[in-house]
Structure 1
Amino acid sequence: MAYRQNATIEDIVLWPLGGLSIYGPDHPMGDVKVAILGPVSHVFTGAIFAVLYIMLKADDMPSLLSYKVYYADIESGLRGLFASASRIAFSWNLMLLVVHLLVPVYPMDAVRIWAGLLRRSGKSLADTAKFTAYAGILICSGIFIYGWVGLFMDATFMGGITENSAYIVLGGFGALVSWNLVQTVNADRINLDKVFGRGCYAITGSGVEMPGAVSSPQLPVEEERDII
């Protein structure tokens, strides 16, 4: 999709929750089209694992939405283990779909989706970055608190130790990254940001340059001084 947007891939970021391609399309909606393919891919892979689980599961196995391993999985032998793996893989794909669509934090795809849509709506680059950053802080703080509450309450419906620990790490990481973006905007260094400093956010989808935009990332130029 990036090549269809006449873009040159500059970098690819891989991390435990997915990947992010850094490239230079000529308008923000081009970035949205590429970014949204990441979450959409989880729909197809999740559907495959769902079908596998339905085909392999035994009558006494839990529902598809259960993300834990049960004795029924183990007692069903190799087929049960494959069914359990398919069920857990489905749950992970569902979680990744939601995270990459709703959590606007770098390097997740949502930050580019939100940024592209806000930029296309006419918001300035600084306002777009701040809105995205504050939304990220709010959402990630909620995830962080949810994880801690789940640990202290030991509530089964909120997940186990592994799940809640993941919520804490993800929420804390996202809140810190979002706060760093706020500081970057306040320091007038948004042109150095990996997402908002790219040239595609300097113009709207119609090709019109917008106020507060930067055409391309530029490093600060130090003043030359005579040494006496």
Structure 2
Amino acid sequence: MAGIPVRLHYLFFVTLLLPMFFQAWVSWIGVLWAFVIFGPVLFVTILLHELGHCLATRQVGGDVHGILLWPLGGLAFVGHAGSPARDLYVAVCGPLTHIPQFAAWYLMLVLSRRGITGAWSPSLAMLDASQQFWLAVCVGACQVNLALMAFNLLLPAYPLDGGRIFADLMLLCGVPALLAAKVTVGVAITIGIAIIAFGAIYFNVITMIVGVWMLISTFELFQAIRTDTIKQHPMFYFEPAAAQNDPMVMLPANHPRSAGV
């Protein structure tokens, strides 16, 4: 797609099978709804999110190595040389793809509801799929896009997009790379533990796995701090001072980065 290799991890379908399993206790139409939402809808949603990162990387003159769709979402493997401003642009362009996606699904929801019920209703309340299947699909797709955008933009936790945005903003404000890295680690650990606890309380295995993945990724960043190699880490290899003089300066470095849901 757009000359970008896309790989699908064989465990990607775990995120599809689990919701279908739980819906099986409700109704067969619920299973079908879960298949549509967590199958093709989620697949396309995440793919467009990662394409946002990839196309933004190309715009700043970077290299795109491919996209991986896996059980926890997607990863765009990209590399570019530049300032925190460029990295911020690349990080933001993924979550922003959910705005037009949400708008498209919401428009279909409103028009379909008008055609089916004869009423104009902006509600995004979950519907009974056995009664109004297509409307329930539209609502589910809208909620998926809102959730992914909020999750990636509002959680300043590494390695999520929000964590990259948070770190880039600190660097742009002149915070030294080492201090920015320490703050990033502290925030990410706190949020990661909270996500694991939330998943445990509500018996959500996927949520707990996301939290564990965040902690593992954060530990790698912590290791870079401990070994004094933070400026070799993909997120902190540029010098904040250079970025202050010219927010869009290209620096002589090109480390592979990954950004994803």
Normalising by structure 1, what TM-score?
Answer: 0.70
**Correspondence for 1:221:** none
**Correspondence for 1:99:** 151
AA aligned opposite 1:176: I
Shift of 1:93: 0.9
Q: Given that residues 8 and 25 in structure 1 are in contact (C-alpha distance below 8 angstroms), is that contact kept between their aligned partners in structure 2?
A: yes
**Correspondence for 1:55:** 111
Shift of 1:145: 0.8
AA aligned opposite 2:62: T
Give the Cα–Cα distance (whole angstroms) in 1 for the partners of residues 167 and 77 of structure 2.
15
Matched, 1:64 2:124: yes
AA aligned opposite 1:177: S
- The aligned runs of 1:1-228 (5 Å cut-off) are 1-5=56-60, 7-16=61-70, 17-57=73-113, 63-66=123-126, 70=128, 73-75=129-131, 80-103=132-155, 104-106=157-159, 108-151=160-203, 164-196=204-236, 198-199=237-238, 203-207=242-246, 216=253
What are the ranges of 5 or more consecutive residues in structure 1 without an aligned counterpart? 152-163, 209-213, 219-228
Shift of 1:202: 7.4
SS in 2 for 1:2: helix
Q: Structure with the greater relative contact order (CA < 8 A, sep ≥ 6): 1 or 2?
A: 2
Give the Cα–Cα distance (whole angstroms) in 1 for the partners of residues 165 and 138 of structure 2.
29
What are the ranges of 5 or more consecutive residues in structure 2 without an aligned counterpart? 1-55, 256-261
SS in 2 for 1:74: coil
Would the alpha carbon gap of residues 41 and 175 (structure 1) be closer, same or farther in structure 2, given more than 3 Å must change? same
Q: Given that residues 100 and 109 in structure 1 are in contact (C-alpha distance below 8 angstroms), is that contact kept between their aligned partners in structure 2?
A: yes
Give the Cα–Cα distance (whole angstroms) in 2 for the partners of residues 110 and 20 of structure 1.
15
Q: After alignment, is 167-176 or 11-20 more displaced?
A: 11-20
Q: Given that residues 202 and 215 in structure 1 are in contact (C-alpha distance below 8 angstroms), is that contact kept between their aligned partners in structure 2?
A: no
Q: What is the total number of aligned residue pairs between the two structures?
A: 190
Give the Cα–Cα distance (whole angstroms) in 2 for the partners of residues 193 and 12 of structure 1.
20
> What is the RMSD computed on CA atoms of the aligned residues?
3.1
Q: After alignment, is 183-192 or 42-51 more displaced?
A: 183-192
Q: Given that residues 106 and 138 in structure 2 are in contact (C-alpha distance below 8 angstroms), is that contact kept between their aligned partners in structure 1?
A: yes
Shift of 1:215: 6.0
**Correspondence for 2:35:** none
Shift of 1:185: 1.1
Would the alpha carbon gap of residues 8 and 200 (structure 1) be closer, same or farther in structure 2, given more than 3 Å must change? farther
- Larger gyration radius, structure 1 or structure 2: 1
AA aligned opposite 1:204: A
AA aligned opposite 1:118: M
SS in 2 for 1:194: coil
Deviation per CA, 1:172-208, whole angstroms, max 9, x where unpaired? 2112221331122111232443333x44767324249
Would the alpha carbon gap of residues 23 and 217 (structure 1) be closer, same or farther in structure 2, given more than 3 Å must change? closer
Give the Cα–Cα distance (whole angstroms) in 1 for the partners of residues 239 and 58 of structure 2.
15
Deviation per CA, 1:66-109, whole angstroms, max 9, x where unpaired? 3xx73xx223xxxx333222211111111111121133322x32
Deviation per CA, 1:97-127, whole angstroms, max 9, x where unpaired? 1121133322x32232112111111111111
Give the Cα–Cα distance (whole angstroms) in 1 for the partners of residues 144 and 206 of structure 2.
12
Q: Given that residues 192 and 217 in structure 1 are in contact (C-alpha distance below 8 angstroms), is that contact kept between their aligned partners in structure 2?
A: no
